[in-house]
Every structure is written in structure tokens, then in C-alpha cells.
């Protein structure tokens, strides 16, 4: 797209002057010849000093709550949520793989009927946090204790988190998709004395409590099963169980009188106080606990306010649905609190009308202006749009793609007409008010970013990890483009370290190398892991954190990523292929829901193991006039996945997408393995954060992968 067309996408935002960010990023040191590293770069407009505070009165998380309460008070809502009115159950047939064989099973699907959104303003939110804080103090929770938060993203997650932060008690995060082993690890490594969870997660906790001797308090919300609670009490008579409503009641000042002001003052944190032990996704091994301080988080809030400024005004609504156990959602909700944006809580399964009964989906009910997401979410939305177009017939499809192309080219009259008649209808499915979106967590394909930016809302990019509070770079709206992950954030500086074995050198033109970071947003250590904290493959001798990502500086001062060092594979011809890059490209194929690109030693090309997008694949098959397809048009998903002709169709579609995106040579797929069962943490193929577990995928489908390469070898 041309610069003018890109600017058209952000015309609805409060853009600052084109030169607002100066030259983007600047070198604050000169590269030393022969040192094996590049110059240190910072955001140009804050190059003289890394930022640490968004406001003089804010240096800790409780300061953020206090600032928001006095600044926004009753004028705006801080949080919104929906209550469950009724659970509707439907029986559906699904295909599972049991002991290597495909088995049809009947599964009960639960669809929720939800209330309208309810809200707390900023004063009410601060009061609720105070109740939880007081309740925790009255339970005897100390500064040295750690409280585990094992819960879905919700208002209550935040109330417990902020209550702990107010009294210098660290939380440890646990994804609500964790099984017993993962939960046991997240409870025992930090010696958690208390846990907050949801009533529907208590059965998993019940399997864990016999092996968590330090745990003494279980806080929960919802309506738990009496049998589950009784069973846990029988197993652990020493445990104290308390509903969160009871804890808040305990914390009300009119119930027990106010707590001594001296106690509250003694328990106030400093910027160096540990706020959170956030566990990484564990996609390559046991999860690591990242120690994040109040100062780390506050510095990151500062960065967001500088980079996005007027584009996140007080009173806007943010759709909060990603796991709060993931650093992206955690930091975004803290930023929303500081700038006066409402966090409206939602669930991934109830975002659209298809996931609820008797009410509208969260997107339409809330009508948010801001939405963050990870690639899997954006791919699902994109393919959902494509699926709806397929259902609507050829004319509707032609009108949509015509409007899309007019907007891509910036054709004024046609673009405006397509906007009013076609694209506005697509936007209604997301509430109709989205101003911009942000992708994080992993790379997104250029095709998908462009498609959603043109069709629904401009999409920015960000790059970060748990160790940097979710941010190293952010792409402001003034810099909108497809492919770059943004400018250095104001609280972090970046340098590139040579990777000679792969040919990525800071002396190259443009400079390339491993991305290394330092600054107030960067963590200092892993929890109870002295081996990692002393590992020079993780930390340089002069204190830089090595991300393991290969990056390249662009002329406009932005950074682009090439891939993870560990995911760069050398092929027999001497070329390297980047597995994550290939996955982000091929995943934009309409027939794919999830994908893992794999290559065996000595192979000249990779294969893709993938879970297909059933609706879009079936639509393509229904349109085919080829007699070879007739026998599978009405077949079940397992039969589709096993059919060689269907595999051929998917392979060709993937490689067409690859060719369009400039993939060639060793990057072209030589075969595909289609899997009939969805990849979930329960299957062991993805982590709790939905990141692919490469070793698990390769092991689970080793026979199928071997069959693909054997077939190719036979010619």
C-alpha cells in the first residue's frame, strides 16, 4: 500500500504531526569496530534519558489506582463485566485421537446466556481494591507471602492482584488452562500460602492440594460444588476456604473498624518491591518465573502513554479477554487504568454471537474502541469474515473484495462508497466502534495485518516478552506499516549482538543481530533460578538481556524481526529457513487454523503439520467440480484429513500464499499433515499461552511426517 493509502487507514485517530517522533530511533553510542555488537539505540524523542514514571506521584501499582481514582473518579467507568444468567448445553459430535486412532465422541458444549454489561467507576474500583487489601491483612497475609492467582481474566482477578500489590505481597500467575502438574509447580516453587481461583477450577485444585503443603488459604468466586469443597476439606482439614465476597466483607471498615494507618503505611510497596512472579508459557520446558517489580511495571506504563498518547483517551473502552496470566494483558490493563480507559471483561468463547445464547456476543454488547490480540485471535477473526462471505454468495464476496481493493488503493469515491455499503457491515460484527488494534505475543502475517487494517480497524504491532513487561518496541499510529514491530519504547534501549554462525552482523547493511535490551522495564532475575541468572547465553557480562530474537534496523528507525535463533534451521544447500516466519505466512491461508512447520535433518524442504479451518476447507471442496473430490464433500473431518487429494489442495493453497509473500526455494512446503483434533493445552501440542510445542508436535505426528518424506523419496 502507498503511504497515502496507509495514512487513510488512521485518519480517524488523533494523529500527531508527522515529525512528532523525529527520526524514530537514534544511536546514543557509536558502534566499536570488531566488538561484535552494534550501537545502542533509543527512541529519538526520549534519547537523553530512559523514562521511569508516567507522573511524578506514581512509582508503584497502588499509586496507579490512587491516581486513577482522583483523576477520573465517577466521571468514567474503570471496569465492566457480564454476569452469567444461564448455561445452555448442546451435544455435538467431535473427532479425537485416542491411542493413535481417530475416534468419534459426543461432547457437551456449554453456551452462556449473559447479562448486559455492569460497571464500576474509578472510585468504586479503588474502594473494592481497598476491601480486598484489608481482608488479606486480616487473614494474616504478610510481605513475605506469595498469593497464586489461578483464574480466568476478570474483575476479581484484578481485585486480588491490586489488593496484594497494596500490601507488598507478590502474586504468582497461573494460566486457567493449566493442568495439575503445571498448577502444582506454580504453587510450590514460590511456596504460595494462598490461592484465588474460580469455582469451576476447584476440581483441578482439588487434585493438587495434597501435594502443596505450604498452601493454607483458598479464595474463590462463583458457586462451587459442595462435594468438591467437602472433598478438599477432608483431604486438607488445615485449609481455610473463603468466597471472595466474604473476603471483601471482612475488609469493609464498617465491619471491623479501620485498620491502623501505621500498618497500611508499613505495608506500602516501593518501586523495588516484587509485584509479580509471572510464569512464562513453558513452550520449550518447565515454565520460568519472571520477577517483575512495581518499578518495572510503572516504567512500562510510561512508555505506552508516550507512544500512544492521544489515541487512548479517558472514557474509551478496551476489550479485556486475553489471559491476565500473560504479560500482554496484564500490562495493558494497568495502562488502561492509568489513562482512564474502561476495561470491559469478556471471554474468548463469547466474543461473538456464535458463542452465546439468548444475548449478543461481548463485542457487540460492549462496543469497544480498542482491542489487543495475538495472531491466533486475528487469524480466527479474518477467517470468520471469509467464512461469512462464503455463505453470502458470489455477489456479496465480489462487493467486499472490490471495496477492500478500493480502500487499499486509496481511491476516494470508490473507497467511500465501499466504506458505507460494504465494510461498515463487516465492522458491525466487532461492535462498530473499533478505532485501532494491537498485535502482540508473536509475529502476524503481513497479509492478515493488512486485511484487518483495511477491512475493520488499523492494526499496530508490538514486540516484547514477559522479561520486558511485554514491550521492547511499539508501532505508533503515525508509523503505520506492515512488517515492522515498531520503535524502541522510551523505557528500554536496544543493541544488536552479532550472530556470526548465521551471518547476522551488526556491521551489515542494514544492521542485523540478536536483539539485546536494557532499561527500567526489564526484569532483573528469574525466581529461584541462579543457573539462569548467571547464564551468559541469557545475560551479557555488561547486564544486557539477550532475547534470542534476530532483528534488523530499518531506515525509519523501526525494528523488524527475522526469527528466533533457535528456530533458524540450516538446510542442505547452506541456506537458513526461519520456522516462525514461515508459520506466520502460511497461517494466513484460509484453510488453516493452526500450524507447525517442521523439517527433518537432510530434507531439502519443510513439511507443515496443521489443524485445518474446517468451514473454509469444506466451502472450497463444495465449489470444486473435480470428480476426485466428490467422495469427501460430505465426509467427517477425520476422513478429510486423511484424504490425499484434500492434502494436495491444502498444500497448493499454502504454497500459493507463500509465493505471494515472497517465499521460495527451501521455504516452500513439500507436504502437509492434516490433524482432525484441535490443538489445545490439554492435547499437549500447545502451551497454556497457546504457543506451539514443537517437540511435542513432531513426536505426536512422527509417523505421519515420516510418511510424507518417504512418499517424496519414492518420487
pLDDT tens column, 549-583: 999 999 999 999 988 898 889 888 888 899 999 99
* Percentage of the residues of the chain whose pLDDT score is greater than 70: 96
* Range 487-491 average pLDDT: 98
**DSSP letter assigned to residue 566:** G
> Residue 349 burial (CB < 10 Å; 0-12/13-18/19+)?
middle
pLDDT score recorded for residue 98: 56
**CATH of segment(s) 5-9+12-49+492-566:** 2.30.38.10
* Range 371-400 average pLDDT: 84
* Range 25-44 average pLDDT: 94
Name which residue leads in pLDDT, 424 or 29: 29
Q: Any idea which of 276-285, 437-446, 455-464, 501-510 has the lowest mean pLDDT?
A: 276-285
CA distance 119 to 610: 41
> CB-based contacts of 681: which residues, under 8 Å, 6+ apart?
175, 177, 178, 179, 687, 688, 690
* Range 269-278 average pLDDT: 98
* Range 41-70 average pLDDT: 98
Contacts 24+ apart (CB under 8 A), 399-407: 400/426, 404/451, 404/454, 404/455, 407/5, 407/8, 407/9, 407/454
Q: Is the pLDDT of residue 196 over 90?
A: yes
pLDDT score recorded for residue 182: 87
pLDDT score recorded for residue 414: 52
pLDDT score recorded for residue 405: 84
* Range 505-525 average pLDDT: 96
Architecture (CATH level 2) of domain 569-713: 2-Layer Sandwich (3.30)
- The domain 61-81+115-345 is placed in CATH, from the list 3.40.1190.20, 3.40.50.460, 3.40.50.12780, 3.40.190.10, at 3.40.50.12780
Q: Quickly state the pLDDT bin for 102 (edges 50, 70, 90).
A: low
* Range 356-379 average pLDDT: 93
User: ∠ CA 44-49-52 to the nearest 5 degrees?
Assistant: 115
Q: What digits encode the pLDDT tens for the residues 141-181? A: 999 999 999 999 999 999 999 999 999 999 999 999 888 88
pLDDT score recorded for residue 435: 93
Q: What digits encode the pLDDT tens for the residues 613-634? A: 998 999 889 888 888 788 888 8
| Averaged pLDDT score across all residues of the chain | 91
Half-sphere exposure in the Cβ direction for 644 (13 Å, CA) = 4
CB atoms near residue 19 (< 10 Å): 8
- Strand pairing of 170-174 and 194-198? unpaired
Q: Where are the alpha helices (DSSP H) in 590-690?
A: 614-623, 637-642, 644-660
* Range 458-481 average pLDDT: 94
CA distance 501 to 424: 50
- Strand pairing of 370-373 and 436-439? parallel
Amino acid at each position: 500500500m502507498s503511504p497515502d493509502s496507509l495514512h487513510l487507514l488512521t485518519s480517524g485517530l488523533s494523529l500527531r504531526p508527522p515529525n512528532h517522533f523525529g527520526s524514530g530511533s537514534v544511536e546514543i553510542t557509536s558502534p566499536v569496530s570488531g566488538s561484535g555488537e552494534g550501537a545502542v539505540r533509543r527512541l529519538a524523542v526520549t534519547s537523553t534519558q530512559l523514562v521511569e514514571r508516567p507522573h511524578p506521584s506514581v512509582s508503584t501499582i497502588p499509586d496507579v489506582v490512587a491516581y486513577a481514582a482522583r483523576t477520573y473518579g465517577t466521571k468514567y467507568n474503570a471496569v465492566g463485566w457480564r454476569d452469567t444468567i444461564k448455561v445452555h448445553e448442546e451435544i455435538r459430535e467431535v473427532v479425537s485421537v485416542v491411542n493413535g486412532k481417530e475416534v468419534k465422541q459426543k461432547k457437551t458444549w456449554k453456551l452462556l446466556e449473559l447479562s448486559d454489561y455492569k460497571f464500576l467507576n474509578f472510585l468504586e474500583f479503588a474502594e473494592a481494591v481497598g476491601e480486598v487489601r484489608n481482608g488479606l491483612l486480616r487473614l494474616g497475609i504478610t510481605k513475605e507471602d506469595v498469593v497464586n492467582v489461578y483464574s480466568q481474566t476478570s474483575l476479581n482477578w484484578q481485585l486480588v492482584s491490586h489488593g496484594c500489590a497494596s500490601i507488598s505481597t507478590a502474586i504468582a500467575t497461573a494460566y486457567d488452562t493449566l493442568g495439575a502438574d503445571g498448577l502444582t509447580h506454580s504453587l510450590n516453587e514460590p511456596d504460595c500460602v494462598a490461592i484465588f481461583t474460580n469455582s469451576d477450577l476447584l476440581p483441578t485444585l482439588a487434585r493438587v492440594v495434597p501435594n502443596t503443603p505450604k498452601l493454607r488459604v483458598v479464595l474463590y468466586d462463583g458457586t462451587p460444588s459442595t462435594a468438591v469443597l467437602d472433598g478438599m476439606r477432608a483431604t486438607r482439614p488445615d485449609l481455610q476456604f473463603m468466597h471472595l465476597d466474604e473476603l471483601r466483607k471482612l475488609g469493609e471498615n464498617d465491619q471491623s473498624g479501620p485498620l491502623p494507618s501505621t500498618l497500611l503505611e508499613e505495608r506500602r510497596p516501593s518501586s523495588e518491591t516484587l509485584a509479580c512472579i509471572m510464569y512464562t508459557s513453558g513452550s520449550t520446558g518447565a515454565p520460568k518465573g519472571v520477577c517483575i517489580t512495581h518499578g518495572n511495571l510503572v516504567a512500562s506504563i510510561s512508555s505506552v502513554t508516550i507512544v500512544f498518547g492521544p489515541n487512548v483517551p479517558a472514557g474509551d473502552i478496551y476489550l479485556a479477554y486475553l489471559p491476565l496470566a500473560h504479560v500482554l494483558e496484564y500490562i495493558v490493563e494497568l495502562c488502561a487504568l492509568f489513562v482512564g480507559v474502561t476495561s470491559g471483561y469478556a471471554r474468548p468463547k463469547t466474543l461473538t454471537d456464535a458463542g452465546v445464547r439468548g444475548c449478543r456476543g461481548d463485542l457487540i454488547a460492549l462496543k469497544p474502541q480498542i482491542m489487543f490480540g495475538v495472531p491466533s485471535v486475528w487469524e480466527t477473526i479474518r477467517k470468520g469474515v471469509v467464512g461469512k462471505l462464503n455463505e453470502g454468495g458470489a455477489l456479496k464476496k465480489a462487493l467486499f473484495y472490490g471495496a477492500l481493493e478500493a480502500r487499499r488503493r486509496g481511491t476516494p469515491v470508490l473507497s467511500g462508497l465501499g466504506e458505507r455499503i460494504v465494510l461498515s457491515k463487516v465492522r458491525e460484527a466487532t461492535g462498530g466502534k473499533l478505532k485501532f488494534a494491537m498485535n502482540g505475543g508473536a509475529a502476524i502475517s503481513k497479509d492478515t495485518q493488512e486485511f484487518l487494517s483495511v477491512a475493520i480497524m488499523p492494526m499496530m504491532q508490538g514486540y516484547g516478552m514477559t522479561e520486558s513487561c511485554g514491550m521492547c518496541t511499539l508501532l505508533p499510529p503515525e508509523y503505520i506499516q506492515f512488517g515492522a514491530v515498531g520503535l524502541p519504547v522510551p523505557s528500554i534501549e536496544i543493541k544488536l549482538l552479532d550472530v556470526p554462525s548465521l551471518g547476522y552482523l551488526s556491521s551489515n547493511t542494514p544492521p542485523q543481530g540478536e536483539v539485546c535490551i536494557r532499561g527500567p522495564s526489564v526484569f532483573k532475575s528469574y525466581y529461584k533460578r541462579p543457573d539462569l541468572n548467571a547464564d551468559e547465553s541469557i545475560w551479557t557480562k555488561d547486564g544486557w538481556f539477550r532475547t534470542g530474537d534476530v532483528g534488523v534496523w530499518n531506515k525509519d528507525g523501526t525494528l523488524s524481526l527475522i526469527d528466533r535463533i533457535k528456530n533458524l534451521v540450516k538446510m542442505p544447500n547452506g541456506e537458513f529457513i526461519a520456522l516462525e516466519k514461515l508459520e506466520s505466512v502460511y497461517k494466513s491461508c484460509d484453510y488453516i487454523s493452526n500450524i507447525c512447520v517442521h523439517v527433518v535433518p537432510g530434507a531439502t524442504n519443510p513439511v507443515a503439520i496443521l489443524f485445518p479451518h474446517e468451514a473454509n476447507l469444506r466451502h472450497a471442496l463444495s465449489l470444486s467440480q473435480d470428480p476426485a473430490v466428490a467422495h469427501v464433500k460430505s465426509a467427517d473431518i477425520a476422513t478429510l484429513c486423511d484424504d490425499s487429494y484434500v492434502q494436495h489442495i491444502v498444500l497448493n493453497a499454502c504454497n500459493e500464499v507463500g509465493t505471494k509473500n515472497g517465499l521460495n526455494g527451501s521455504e516452500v512446503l513439500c507436504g502437509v499433515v492434516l490433524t482432525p483434533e484441535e490443538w489445545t493445552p490439554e492435547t499437549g501440542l500447545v502451551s497454556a499461552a497457546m504457543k506451539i510445542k514443537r517437540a511435542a508436535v513432531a513426536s505426536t505426528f512422527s509417523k505421519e511426517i515420516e510418511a510424507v518424506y518417504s512418499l517424496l523419496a519414492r518420487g
